[in-house]
Amino acid sequence: MTAVATAAIVSTDERLDRLTEQVQVIADELRRERDQRERWSELVEDLSPVTSQAFAAVSEELEDLSDVVTVETLARFGRTMARSLPTLEALLVQLQVITALSDELVPLASPAVASLTSTLQQLDDKGYFAFARGGAGIVDRVVTSFSEEDVAALGDNVVLILNTVKEMTQPEVMTLLQRTAVTVQEVEDEHVEPPSMIALLKQMRDPQTRRGLGRVMTMLRSVGEDRPAAPRSPHEER
């Protein structure tokens, strides 16, 4: 066999191999397309009941709304939406601005929240909240213990009460009350025997004792004075 015949046979074999490869590629592509069509067919078959039910539900809803929603209503709604597009655009711009502002404020708010939390924790540790809870209970008991008439009488005499409290909180009065309380407590703790008449007479020679008796007598005289009766309030007259 000559060299020319051999080369022709080799060239023919190569072309046959290339043709076989191309046919194989085409066959593979056709197989993939067939598989895809089969999958789509299976998907359509699976979705057909769901789609049918969805269309049935939509049809029922539209049938229920047929008396309310008409073509004219939809057209009017479309025109309203078209006219409202500038307003909606402005709202979206404002929303974007608010979102950007919130993104900037979040880092700034974190230290403030942490400081507030720390302050509240310190107040709780010091007992402020416990005192507030106890005070709320006290206020509740006070409110439930007074009737409407008591509150009205308190309002009529609140000025007198405040003046009395003002006088009671003077330094001289508070000092006297403190000394009296301390003295009474010491007498109770020491269990002193009742003094005799001679001992009492000796104590009368003490200037401080006489000064104390003078103050007590002055107080008793002030308590026993005849004072005009206070005018009755409008609530008491009713």
What are 44-65's pLDDT values in tens digits? 787 777 777 777 777 777 676 6
Helices of type H across the chain: 3-65, 71-83, 85-126, 128-145, 148-156, 158-168, 171-190, 197-204, 207-224, 234-237
Q: How much is the pLDDT for 237?
A: 45
Q: How far apart are CA 182 and CA 186, in angstroms?
A: 6
Query: Whole-prediction pTM value?
Result: 0.30
Please write the tens of the pLDDT for every residue from 104-118.
Answer: 777 766 777 788 888
pLDDT cut 70: percent of the chain above it: 80
Distance CA 50, CA 74 (A): 28
pLDDT tens digits for 158-183? 888 888 888 778 887 788 778 777 77
Confidence band (pLDDT; 50, 70, 90) for 227? low
Q: Identify the DSSP state of 147.
A: -
Q: What is the pLDDT of residue 169?
A: 80
- Per-residue pLDDT at 42: 82
Q: What is the pLDDT of residues 143-158, one digit of tens each?
A: 888 888 888 887 878 8
